[in-house]
Amino acid sequence: MPRGFTHVLNSSTLQPGELQLKVDNLHLSFGGVQALRGVSLEVRQSEIAAIIGPNGAGKTSLLNCISGLYRPQNGRIHFYNNNQEYELTRLKPYQIARLGIARSFQNIELFKHMTVLDNLMLGRHVHLKANIFTGGLYWGPAQREEIDNRRFLEDIIDLLEIEAIRKKPVGTLAYGLQKRVELGRALALQPSLLILDEPMAGMNAEEKEDMARFILDVNEEHGVTVIIIEHDMGVVMDISDHVIVLDFGAKIGDGTPDEVQRNPDVIRAYLGEEHNILQ
């Protein structure tokens, strides 16, 4: 087990390379605005899949459909785990979380008045078995359960190097550290699929390097599949195995980073002319 971890972050029963998520012909509209137009894609276990595209391309709408916050008008989303297939478009967000799908948000969604540790503990909510009575007494099974969950969080605190801030209210932390705590809360769910919506937005170069390192550690050492939206093309091309490109709600590119960089439709969407998007 990597780096002295006592727990496994990845809850997937799949082998690397097996199909984990399949989005089939997804359509999503808000009134007369078509946010997604027939989007289809596949994500495989243990890969880092980046979703890129200009502003308004439908990237966050797609993640919201996967996590259950939006319900598409047409199409299906299939998730595979524990030798079963699940239809996500029929499930509520808390049910999807229980399947092992965790996410962070474009805008930080932490409880600012609570400590780092308390925010991380909230990420364990789907694993709690104690009811209101046993939890209120805090004795026996409820006490042992909390101790086990806190031990699990120690691994995440070590991974993300946030020992020094564990007891600080989140609202007093710098923006980059808050982003790190939000990643930790998603990892506390013990996901097999981790969805990150612009985890490096607003960060300086050093903070981006740290966040990229944490994401790679989670993926490479623990085998957690990652879907990431990110506007920094340098980061995307460095850490991704697979890149999906959206534009005006439609998929215009899908392949390895090298393939996507050479795709004329992708180049035109970004620059309006044929130049490498990294230049």
pLDDT tens, position by position, 220-243: 989 999 999 998 889 999 999 999
Q: What is the CATH T-level fold of the domain 2-110+191-271, as seen in this structure?
A: Rossmann fold (3.40.50)
Pairing of strands 74-81, 193-197: unpaired
Strands ordered across the beta sheet of 242-247? 101-103, 193-197, 225-229, 48-52, 242-247, 250-255
For range 78-102, the mean pLDDT: 93
Tens digits of residue pLDDT in 10-35:
667 789 999 999 999 999 999 889 99
Start-to-end C-alpha separation, the chain: 40
- For the ranges 22-31, 129-138, 244-253, the lowest mean pLDDT is seen at 129-138
Whether the Cβ atoms of residue 247 and residue 59 lie closer than 8 Å to each other: no
Backbone phi, psi, residue 242, to 5°: -150, 135
pLDDT for residue 270: 75
pLDDT for residue 96: 95
Using the predicted structure, report yes or no on whether residue 194 has a pLDDT greater than 60: yes
Strand partners, 98: none
Query: d(Cα 191, Cα 100) in Å, to the nearest integer?
Result: 4
Contacts of 220 (CB under 8 A, 6+ apart): none
